[in-house]
Amino acid sequence: MKQILNILKKYKGESILAPLFKMLEATFELFVPLVISAIIDHGIGGNDRGLIFRYSGILLLLALIGLVCSITAQYFAARAAIGTATTLREKLFAHIQSFSYTEMDTQGTSTLITRMTSDINQVQNGINMTLRLFLRSPFIVFGAMIMAFTIDAKEAMIFVITIPVLSVIVFGIMQITRPLYKQAQGGLDSLLATARENLTGVRVIRAFCKEEEELEKFRGQNERLTFTQKKAGSISGLTNPFTYVVVNLAIVALLWTGAISVSHGSLTQGQVVALYNYMSQILVELIKLANLIVTITKALACAGRIQDVFQVSSSMEDGTGVPLPSDGDRTCVEFRDVSLTYKGAGAPSLEHISFKAYGGQTIGIIGGTGSGKSSVVNLIPRLYDATQGQVLYNGKPVETYTTESLRQEIAMVPQRAQLFKGTIRSNLLMANPEADETKLMEGLERAQALEFVKNKEGMLEAVVEQGGKNLSGGQKQRLTIARALMQDFKVLILDDSASALDYATDAKLRHALKNIPGEPLVFIVSQRSSSLRHADLILVMEDGRVESMGTHEELLQKSKVYQEIVASQNSGEEAAV
């Protein structure tokens, strides 16, 4: 709530004017029963048609003024609610962008999406309704009671008894339903996560004929969410009947005692009608208030969930901004007894990794699935921080640099080729918005992507759909490599980013990378021994440790793991050397 209230302060004027105009509308509405009472007692009772027409004109005027006030209040409430939601969404998105990979892993994508969309929409709706009704409804309820006292104090005591009873009902139900609505939003997170997994992994599900199992899983989560929502809805649904019963009992008591007072001559018929209208106004406003309470309950539950995200801070503190080395210095990356344990993991993913690499070298990393290959290269640009030991860039721990300055020196192609909706040009320019046509073409040529880009209609202006789904796996990988090459880097990391390429294209790519000007330090993570054959240093990973390191020829002599990998991918002749 703290973040929302801070943002709402920017719309202080709208937040004051909206309820002010609503209360002004309510004030005019409270005069309506008195005008009707005068029409009945003096116009109809006195057979004064002129008075009836004059007072009817006053009723139309009150309605017109009330309409203008209502529209004005709605305008200001909408400005405040939409403006707050827009700013909140931007702040939340920016806050999420500050998360390290650790927070992204622990929070989960689906819950963050729900909180940025559904939860913020609920908060927006809650702010809008609160500004319009939260003061208006109580104002009319208590205003009607006060106006009833101006007519007859004895009859007004019915109002005094009725209003506290109704308040207990409304606020009691709110207290019960609030945790249920929060639970329902959590269930929506789980449902969204399952739906997202099924949509992104639909090919895998169909390949293994798991449609029925996934459908059953989705059905179970959907039924649990439905049960929670029904439970919350059924309790909230008690508000209207309870309030109707109490108010109607009050109306019966009012008409009964009012009829006796009329027969005794202490009240007029018009005054009884006015009291009835005030009780009806209370009924209408309490129904509105009951619905408002449901909306506010949902909004508060969602606001709490949004606040939970804001309270999560990145576990990775930015460096103090140590100056980067000059262009004349030779790039150096060093691991000193580095270990890494992911948050929530039972065992370390990396243990005691030590090596040193220099600009102009190509470092290969190979090993079985889950051996820690990607974990090693993720530590260099500080996507994760080492839990033990130090990762050094040009002699200084990576933690001492600002993440922005460090990552400007490092071009990384992640394991999963991710493209964004737009064009080929817009995707390439993400790494370097100032790249000219020549640089774009050079990058595409080095990444072995120029040929297929030329065959695309519009070439660089060819449309890329969301996630690059209109491109093949190999095309996506080559474009992500080309995008990384747009950057002016000193370290290039290819995290198994050529796995979809055939051997000939892979060989051409490696040859092109060897001729990059500036002698960058290149890290290549690969499952293929042929991709690393000409590397200056190869790290062989096994169970999070470096089993062995050396050149291709050296490893064939001393590393059993490397011999097995080569033998499984070749005829075995080389492994027998």
For residue 480, give both structure tokens: 């992500």
Give the separation between CA 59 and CA 54, rounded to whole angstroms.
9
At 265 the pLDDT is: 78
Give 255-276 as a DSSP string. HHHHHHHHHHTSS-HHHHHHHH
Q: Which amino acid is at 420?
A: F
Numbered ranges of CATH 3.40.50.300 in the chain: 332-415+490-576
For residue 289, give both structure tokens: 């208030």
Which numeric CATH code is attached to 332-415+490-576? Answer: 3.40.50.300
- For residue 284, report the phi and psi dihedrals to the nearest 5 degrees: -60, -45
Which numeric CATH code is attached to 2-310? Answer: 1.20.1560.10
CA torsion through residues 440, 444, 449, 450, sign? positive
Give the separation between CA 288 and CA 448, rounded to whole angstroms.
65
The DSSP 8-state label assigned to residue 9 in this structure reads G
At 148 the pLDDT is: 83
At 574 the pLDDT is: 41
In 265-410, alpha helices (H): 269-310, 373-378, 403-409
In 362-454, alpha helices (H): 373-378, 403-409, 424-428, 437-446, 450-454
Cβ neighbour number for residue 198 with a 10 Å cutoff: 17
Contact 540, 558 (CB under 8 A): no
At 576 the pLDDT is: 37
Contact 1, 303 (CB under 8 A): yes
C-alpha dihedral (370, 373, 379, 380), degrees to nearest 10: -170
The DSSP 8-state label assigned to residue 386 in this structure reads -
CA nearest to 239, candidates 206, 288, 194: 288
DSSP bridge partners of 334: 356, 392
Contact 144, 278 (CB under 8 A): yes
Q: Write out residues in the chain with pLDDT < 50, as ranges.
A: 572-577
At 7 the pLDDT is: 86
Q: What is the Cβ-side half-sphere exposure of residue 250, based on CA atoms within 13 angstroms?
A: 28
At 354 the pLDDT is: 92
Contact 459, 487 (CB under 8 A): no
At 577 the pLDDT is: 37
